[in-house]
């Protein structure tokens, strides 16, 4: 993989009955990879699906990484709302965060997953 960090290109979400399908697309200088996750369509589960789809796109980009999404959450930090992601990579717990903008944690969750893995991706 190139030493350039992947950029979040798009997040697509749609409902299929009671199920939600989320696709996250990441791009680097020369590549584009999409990860997909499907699960409960309730909005409370959407951040988890975004995190899973982001990890699947990363695994397509860097197949040697063994990644597991342990947790996602949002929290208040003073007047700022943040998204948090905990990712396990080859037995090591990594944590990332991103500011929630516009009241929608979807984009921030994907960015938090990427933030958790930035150093690992640079080494890959």
The tens digit of pLDDT for each residue in 37-85 reads 999 998 889 999 999 999 999 999 888 888 999 999 999 999 999 999 9
Q: What is the mean pLDDT of the chain?
A: 92
At 3, is the pLDDT very low, low, confident or very high (cuts 50, 70, 90)?
low
The tokens for 45 are 């589960």
Provide the CATH number for the domain around residue 76: 3.30.160.270
Whole domain around residue 101: which residue ranges?
A: 7-123
Residue 63 falls inside a structural domain:
yes
Q: Is residue 35 part of a domain?
A: yes
Concatenating the DSSP letter of every residue in 60-91 gives HHSTT--EEEEEEEEEEETTEEEEEEEEEETT
pTM, 2 dp: 0.91
pLDDT of residue 124: 61
**Structural domain tally of the chain?**
1
Q: Please, are residues 23 and 14 in contact by the beta-carbon 8 Å criterion?
A: no
pLDDT at 67: 93
User: For residue 13, what is the DSSP state?
Assistant: E
Map residue 49 onto helix, strand or coil.
helix
Token pair for residue 89?
Answer: 């990579």
> Does any domain span residue 2?
no
| 76, part of any domain | yes
Counting Cα atoms < 13 Å in the Cβ hemisphere of 28 gives: 17
């Amino acid at each position: 993989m190139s030493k350039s960090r992947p950029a979040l290109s798009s997040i697509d979400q749609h409902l299929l009955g009671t199920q939600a399908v989320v696709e996250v697309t990441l791009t680097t200088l020369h590549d584009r990879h999409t990860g997909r996750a499907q699960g409960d369509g309730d909005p409370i589960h959407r951040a988890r699906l975004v995190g899973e789809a982001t990890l699947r796109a990363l695994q397509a980009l860097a197949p040697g990484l063994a990644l597991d999404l342990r947790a996602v959450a949002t929290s208040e930090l003073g007047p700022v709302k943040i998204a948090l992601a905990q990712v396990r990579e080859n037995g090591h717990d990594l944590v990332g965060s991103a500011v929630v903008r516009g009241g929608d944690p979807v984009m921030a969750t994907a960015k938090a997953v990427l933030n958790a893995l930035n150093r690992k991706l640079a080494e890959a």
